[in-house]
């Protein structure tokens, strides 16, 4: 009887290990695919001067870089969580504060992109003057400084209260940042940034919608800009939902078994971490005609244009 129970236990452990490895493989492989897509987009933006000097494309490129780094950070933390890897406190601290800063930069960048569309539609005559190359990069620098305030505060608090930085532990915010002050700090900054970005996006959406009703406005451009701002609002909602991931993980670790916690963690990672950071850049890129054609060319290693040229030659009787 004991041998039968042992064999059942071994089978259960084997199934759980296979399930864990399969989820890890699917998550990492999907991230690799989207990292390739983001990499091709970044490469495409470097191939034309207009993409490097226009405010809209600068902010789009910045979003790609931030989302790519954010995705890489999320994959590292996810693999550590799934494989139950223990890392040094100092390494965990670096990963977590960097992930927090990147997350907030991504959120604030949505506000900048919405404001750029607002200026383009509502103040078109001053668009070139307001959204210069220098001012755009200055705005990006400001949101980076704002985003690092919470991370620097957490680092200062950590070194003021914890001297054993060489200790190994399971890397997550709930295990490293145990003091109540960390939670209060996180709630305060999250609320401030999300309220600020939400107000900016709603303001730009309403303003563009109001201008679109006037006779002097380019209806097509205004309608497209409003859809872009609405997309920003949806992305912000997905970012807000991802805040709940940490809370969900903390609850499931306490009240559920290992397999259930793994399934919930996998679902949260795919829906709230991978999906928002991969789908939005792809939608933005595909909605821009000038960028889309060049992106397709580099994504297929130039085969698309070669095939289209061969087809045209065949139809016209050339070659």
Spatial distance between the Cα atoms of 21 and 9, rounded to a whole number of angstroms: 18
Share of the chain above pLDDT 70, in %: 72
Of the listed ranges 86-95, 259-268, 303-312, the one predicted with least confidence: 303-312
- Tell me the pLDDT tens digit for each residue of 218-257: 666 777 777 777 777 777 777 666 666 666 666 666 666 6
pLDDT exceeds cutoff 60 at 313: no
Mean pLDDT to the nearest integer, 1-7: 48
83 vs 56, residue with greater confidence? 56
- Identify which of 315, 235, 304 has the alpha carbon closest to the alpha carbon of residue 272: 235
pLDDT of residue 136: 92
> What is the sign, positive or negative, of the torsion defined by CA atoms of 162, 165, 169, 172?
positive
Encode 80-93: b = buried (16+ Cβ within 10 Å), e = exposed: bbbeeeebebeebb
pLDDT band at 14 (very low <50, low <70, confident <90, very high): low
Spatial distance between the Cα atoms of 17 and 276, rounded to a whole number of angstroms: 28
Let me know: does 299 contact 40? Beta carbons within 8 Å: yes
What class is the 23-311 domain?
Answer: mainly alpha
The secondary structure of residue 218, as a DSSP letter, is -
Q: Which residue has the tokens 């006779």?
A: 215
Domain boundaries, the chain: 23-311
HSE-CB of 263 using CA atoms within 13 angstroms? 6
């Amino acid at each position: 009887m004991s041998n039968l129970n042992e064999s059942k236990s071994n089978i259960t452990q084997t199934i759980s290990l296979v399930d864990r490895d399969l989820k890890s493989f699917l998550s990492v492989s999907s991230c690799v695919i989207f990292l390739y897509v983001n990499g091709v987009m970044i490469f495409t933006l470097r191939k034309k001067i207009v993409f490097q000097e226009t405010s809209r494309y600068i902010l789009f490129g910045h979003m790609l870089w931030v989302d790519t780094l954010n995705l890489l950070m999320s994959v590292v933390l996810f693999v550590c969580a799934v494989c139950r890897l223990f890392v040094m406190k100092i390494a965990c601290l670096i990963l977590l504060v960097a992930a927090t800063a990147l997350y907030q930069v991504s959120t604030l960048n949505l506000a900048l992109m919405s404001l750029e569309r607002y200026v383009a539609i509502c103040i078109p005559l001053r668009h070139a003057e307001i959204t210069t190359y220098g001012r755009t990069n200055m705005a990006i620098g400001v949101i980076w400084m704002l985003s690092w305030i919470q991370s620097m505060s957490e680092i200062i608090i950590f070194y003021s209260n914890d001297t054993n930085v060489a200790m190994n532990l399971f890397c997550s915010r709930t295990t490293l940042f145990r003091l109540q002050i960390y939670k209060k700090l996180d709630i305060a900054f999250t609320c401030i940034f999300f309220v600020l970005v939400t107000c900016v996006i709603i303001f730009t959406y309403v303003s563009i919608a109001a201008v679109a009703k006037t006779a002097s406005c380019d209806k097509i451009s205004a309608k497209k800009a409003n859809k872009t701002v609405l997309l920003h609002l949806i992305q912000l909602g997905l970012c807000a939902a991802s805040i709940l991931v940490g809370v969900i993980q903390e609850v499931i670790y306490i009240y559920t078994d290992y397999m259930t916690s793994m399934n919930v963690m996998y679902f949260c990672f795919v829906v709230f971490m991978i999906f928002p950071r991969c789908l939005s850049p792809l939608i933005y890129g595909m909605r821009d005609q000038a960028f889309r054609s060049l992106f397709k060319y580099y994504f297929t290693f130039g085969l698309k244009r070669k095939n289209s040229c061969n087809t045209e030659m065949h139809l016209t009787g050339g070659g």
